[in-house]
Structure 1
């Protein structure tokens, strides 16, 4: 026995009482030499549990029933027992042991340093916890993995993403988070049932793993959304991989003899440029996905300049309902001029939020927040009422100035909209020809059939209808032909660039020709200079709206401006 090891001098090897307890214990027990690690004794329960005969056991060392990776932990435990020399059995963490057939079990052990036949030895009590470990792992799998595809879920992605960000920070590297959404899955699922839908989702998971590769962290984060973390890739490589992944998901998927096209959009956010933690990166990739879906693009990269969901803006959302009730919204007007005569023909109604603490808040700071919510309905009604009242005031002054109000997609899905407008017109005694309604292409395409029904009703009431921001949406010309539209408004992005950009000029020219062929008039937004005005005149454009004519102004100042303006003559 090592002279430096001071232990209880009980000679366990010859003590009959100790031997009886050892042999008769139903719990596996064995004793091994503290120096050589060779087995000195083993009870019947251990022999049966591990599958070795007693003689086979005594030819082994404790290292041989431990996986190689677990040996350092074993040696550390032995050194601690020798050093601390505490009385009683000392429990260990869950360890792995190997049976005779090579299978691995999970055990908790209790160890005691003692003397066996005059030699320093370690007695071990074994508690097999394999089933408990398996149950825990199954629970963890259910908590962190999607049962259908086998991919990690949103909680697991968030945890793994945060770990990846920490590693990227330490290594001075970047990473990208891609979130993809299947756009037509719900339609297929509702039509053909969940069995078909489940099979399609399994194939989507397989394609993502195949294209993204082993280095990528892939997850199913909601019913129709998947996330992929691309680590240590350049921006160009990440974008290239994103393109290949979206192309792969856009290819038809086959179930039986039927092929399905799911459609897909994606949003990308990069660390460190778009966020320094997992939550920020996930939020920004979600916003990029939303913009891709709204614009009809395959994917977009997050851009803080076009993020309407910053925390300070969400604070505004909470204050907006109060703003309507307290009359903080003001009506502004921007005039439109006839290009041939140079006179003011009408105006567009615009909203400004005069916040008691923040001052004037422009529409681009709150409209993107309001538009996807039900708050867009009271906002639109507020603007319609203000516009009708303003038309009434102008009529009392002897002015006939039609005023056009903007509508959103949610407004067009409101079947009561025509009746509400009709009630306002009757209340103020305003003729419908004094009112116009501006609708974007994208708002119509949200539900073309429902939009067309509402727009036809409004047109039959005598309201003039405008297609706003023409050229920026993805509407079909077949739908445009079915719409009772009176005026097309060319988006300012084309008008403002038509002098320097031949492509923009060609779009302006072709839009004017197409509209005139369809018996529609054309208003060019963004008419900022005399050069643009004159170019529009040469192309036969009907009206212009923009800085060259006038910036937006409070509606109450419009009459005074018009009386002093050269445009009035």
Structure 2
């Protein structure tokens, strides 16, 4: 079913309104994760089998009256008539997520798949197909970015719509600002690094969330310009910071959208020449999921950058779907544990064991290990006892304007 046909069917359901008073109609968007990777390994026929098995798993998890429509090989729309309200919709989403906790059976083979789910309901989120599908898509985006794999739309989470031209002019006009979030060395008990973050305060829009403008940059091709701006602006501050702390390291996020750019490794190296910076002082962070979008391309680019002396960090480790077979091939020097595991350490014994295992894994692979999302002294102490190398989070220090961070490194303020 294509999206036009889906919208027509949803409008028909809304118009017919088969529900009793007080009941609502919901729309659920479900996307399979890692299907492309599975096809590359096992072939297209196996990919189709995964998609069919996923449809069957959802059918068993949902009610007979729920309509499951396959939009593409990895995307489904589910129409949920006669829900009892928002909580009932959330329950349906949770049931779908749980249906994928066990491997899908494909004849003699099993495939471990996962999904992200976005849900909207009528009339709370709209009374027509276009509004409901758009808001289910926004909810899906929220689910895909965070550890909560099923999200019911909330107006509070709707992103600010940023015009393309406004972001382009902000980048080319140097209107953004670099913030640095300190990274604490847990062995030396001092700051030896910082992660470079882009921040934007627009005169018209006010403070624009990075989730909004970075997503727009990736979707519109501006991410290359944004990354180059961030790298150059950060390196300017790094030079001054290293006069105070000679082993200060700068971490910069690298978008997978840049991987296919011609001579990207040369471009990054050239920026260092401009600011007389050493590649050994710069760590390029790539998310675990980004590596898996095209493992062969990722391996070629990261090997080229590593050969030039850059550090390579696998960011958000544990939240993605990389296999150990791929992990051992990447020339990474650092493993960054996703904050979702670190923030649960005080309340969840399994998170403690998982973090300990990730630290051991990183060390066995000759990598430094960084923990993100450290929010309290107890977690910091736990990480130190486990042998974690570095940590960052609000308990250590919040991101701050780069100039303020550098000023804090002055000898009298250290």
TM (norm. structure 1) is 0.60
- Range moving further from structure 2, 424-433 or 236-245: 236-245
In structure 1, the residue corresponding to 2:227 is in which secondary structure? Answer: helix
The reply to whether residue 345 of structure 1 matches residue 192 of structure 2 is: yes
Equivalent residue in structure 1 for 2:129, among 278, 301, 314: 278
Instruction: Return the alpha-carbon distance in structure 1 between the equivalents of residues 56 and 191 of structure 2.
Output: 61
Rounded to whole Å, the distance in 1 between the matches of 2:340 and 2:113 is: 29
Equivalences for residues 177-326 of structure 1 within 5 A: 177-180=27-30, 215-216=65-66, 225-234=75-84, 235=88, 238-239=92-93, 252=106, 265=115, 267-289=118-140, 300-304=150-154, 307=157, 310=159, 313-326=160-173
Q: CA deviation at 1:405?
A: 0.4
Distance 1:525 1:162, change over 3 A: same
Shift in Å at residue 470 of structure 1? 1.8
C-alpha deviation, 1:352, in angstroms: 0.8
Residue 241 of structure 1, CA deviation: 7.8
Moved more, 344-353 or 529-538: 529-538
Say which SS state the counterpart of residue 462 (structure 1) adopts: coil
* Cα displacement (A) at 1:209: 9.5
**Quick one: higher RCO (CA 8 Å, sep 6+), 1 or 2?**
2
Q: 1:539 to 1:398 in 2, by over 3 A?
A: closer
Q: Which runs of 5+ in 2 are unaligned?
A: none
Kept in 1: contact 2:18–2:82 (CA 8 A)? no
CA contact (8 A) 2:50 2:111 kept: no
Question: Which residue, out of 6, 15, 20, partners 1:163?
Answer: 15
Tell me, yes or no, if the aligned pair for 1:521 and 1:542 is still in contact at 8 Å.
Answer: yes
| Closer, same or farther: CA 262–155 of 1 in aligned 2, 3 Å | farther
Shift of 1:458: 0.6
User: In the superposition, relative to structure 1, how do residues 519 and 565 fare at CA in structure 2: closer, same or farther (>3 Å)?
Assistant: farther
Contact kept, 8 Å, 2:282 with 2:310, in 1: the verdict is: yes
Matched with 2:380 is 533
Does residue 506 (structure 1) correspond to residue 360 (structure 2)? The answer is: no
Alpha-carbon shift at residue 384 of structure 1 (Å): 1.2
Distance 2:129 2:8 in 1: 11
Deviation per CA, 1:29-55: give whole Å up to 9, x if none.
Answer: xxxxxxxxxxxxxxxxxxxxxxxxxxx
Provide the aligned length of Structure 1 versus Structure 2: 402
Q: Distance in 2 between matches of 1:528 and 1:208?
A: 37
Q: Which residue of 1 aligns with 2:366?
A: 519
Mapped to 2, the partners of 1:230 and 1:285 lie a distance apart of 12
CA distance, structure 1, for counterparts of residue 12 and residue 351 of structure 2:
46
Match of 1:401 among 248, 263, 281: 248
Question: Which residue among 243, 255, 261 is the counterpart of 1:414?
Answer: 261
Instruction: Give the CA deviation at 1:331.
Output: 0.8
Aligned residues of 2:29 and 2:119 also touching (Cα < 8 A)? yes
Aligned-CA RMSD value: 4.1
CA deviation after TM superposition for structure 1 residue 418, in Å: 0.5
Instruction: Report what 1:153 is aligned to.
Output: 5
Match of 2:25 in 1: 175
Relative to structure 1, is the Cα distance of residues 163 and 220 closer, same or farther in structure 2, using a 3 angstrom cutoff?
Answer: farther
1:385-396 map, 5 Å: 385-395=232-242
Deviations 1:65-116 (A, max 9, x none): xxxxxxxxxxxxxxxxxxxxxxxxxxxxxxxxxxxxxxxxxxxxxxxxxxxx
User: 2:398 corresponds to which residue?
Assistant: 551
Aligned residues of 1:495 and 1:524 also touching (Cα < 8 A): yes
String of CA shifts for 1:218-238, please: whole Å, max 9, x gaps: 656568755342211442774
Single out whichever of 492-501 and 532-541 deviates more from structure 2: 492-501
Residue in 2 aligned with 1:328?
Answer: 175
Match of 1:370 in 2: 217
C-alpha change, 1:506 and 1:526, in structure 2 (3 Å) is same
Offset of residue 420 of structure 1: 0.5
Aligned match of 1:380: 227
The partner residue of 1:561 within 405, 408, 414 is: 408
Query: Which residue of structure 2 lines up, in the alignment, with residue 473 of structure 1?
Result: 320
Contact 1:334–1:552 (CA under 8 A) maintained in structure 2: yes
* Secondary structure, counterpart of 1:231 in structure 2: strand
Instruction: Return the alpha-carbon distance in structure 2 between the equivalents of residues 242 and 435 of structure 1.
Output: 42
The match for 1:452 is 299
Matched with 1:121 is none
How far residue 561 of structure 1 moved from its aligned partner, in angstroms, is 1.1
Structure 1 portions without partners, runs of 5+: 1-144
Taking the aligned partners of 1:201 and 1:444, their CA distance within structure 2 comes to 23
